[in-house]
């Protein structure tokens, strides 16, 4: 039986590249489905979301960055951009819109598999140990459910965080009132594109928390060192 959290969708209009991707993934026992257009993917995920989606930016029916934006408006599964576009602006834009990683073609299949596995590990919420109930954090009037990625504000309104935002917030909440370096916030990973995007991710999270970046109260920047969550946190 296919595990939903390991299903990989491939969005690639080049049939040869799509076959290469499927071959690499299926060699490591990842079930896959392929789509040549963004519209086909959007229709499919309405009925069955994957664990990870690998998508090209140069699609025939829509720009890949627009596809990322539309996915993230409604879904929280893993997203890996795999494209021929090596421009820094596209990298940063893709990550800022909510992609979890960015690779440039041509690619090394073993690296692709490593990155897919990394995204899957981060996507499994809270990596809850041995039957523990989902952990809920309360801080400064806010409530964060680490199992569902739902953030609830002091006014009672709730919104779904992206995987990247939820992962970042969870790491800050797990070590409140401590300075965390960018490497620590990235869980020790040093992928260049992700490292450059950490400031953008913090900025997005601050906006969610209504935390003015110029005069941040909750997530403070410690220049040259990293970031600090200034709040008492209660887990339940």
| Percent over 70 (pLDDT), the chain | 89
Residue 132 has a pLDDT of 55
- Measured between alpha carbons, how far apart are the two ends of the chain, in Å? 34
Backbone angles phi, psi at 136, to 5 degrees: -120, 130
193: pLDDT strictly greater than 50 = no
Residue 124 binned pLDDT confidence (cut-offs 50, 70, 90): low
On whether the CB atoms of residues 52 and 79 are closer than 8 A, the answer is yes
81: pLDDT strictly greater than 60 = yes
Distance (Å, whole) CA 141 – CA 155: 9
Sign of CA dihedral 177, 178, 182, 183: negative
Residue 228 has a pLDDT of 92
Mean model confidence pLDDT for the chain: 85
Distance (Å, whole) CA 52 – CA 66: 18
Domain annotation for the chain: domains and CATH numbers: 4-124 (3.40.50.2300), 136-235 (1.10.10.10)
The distance of Cα 9 from the centroid of its chain, to the nearest Å, equals 15
168: pLDDT strictly greater than 50 = yes
Residue 50 has a pLDDT of 92
* Mean pLDDT along residues 72-78: 86
| Percent over 90 (pLDDT), the chain | 40
* 7 or 185, greater pLDDT: 7
pTM: predicted TM-score of the whole model, two decimal places: 0.59
């Amino acid at each position: 039986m296919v595990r939903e959290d390991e299903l990989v969708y491939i969005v690639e209009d080049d049939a040869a590249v799509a076959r290469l991707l499927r071959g690499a993934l299926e060699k490591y026992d990842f079930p896959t489905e392929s789509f040549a257009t963004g519209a086909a993917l959007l229709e499919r995920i309405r009925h069955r979301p994957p664990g990870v989606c690998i998508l090209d930016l140069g699609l025939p029916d829509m720009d890949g960055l627009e596809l990322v934006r539309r996915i993230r408006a409604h879904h929280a599964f893993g997203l890996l951009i795999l494209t021929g576009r090596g421009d820094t602006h596209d990298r940063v834009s893709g990550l800022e819109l909510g992609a979890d990683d960015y690779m440039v073609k041509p690619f090394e299949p073993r690296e692709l598999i490593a990155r897919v596995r990394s995204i899957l590990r981060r996507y499994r919420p809270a990596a809850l140990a041995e039957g523990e109930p989902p952990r809920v954090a309360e801080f400064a009037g806010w409530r964060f459910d680490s199992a569902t990625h739902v953030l609830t504000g002091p006014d009672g309104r709730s919104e779904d965080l992206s995987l990247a935002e939820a992962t970042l917030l969870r790491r800050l909440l797990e070590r409140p009132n401590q300075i965390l370096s960018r490497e620590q916030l990235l869980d020790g990973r040093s992928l260049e594109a992700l490292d450059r995007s950490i400031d953008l991710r913090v900025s997005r999270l601050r906006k969610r928390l209504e935390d003015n970046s110029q005069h941040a109260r909750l997530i403070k920047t410690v220049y040259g060192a990293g970031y600090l969550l200034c709040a008492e946190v209660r887990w339940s």
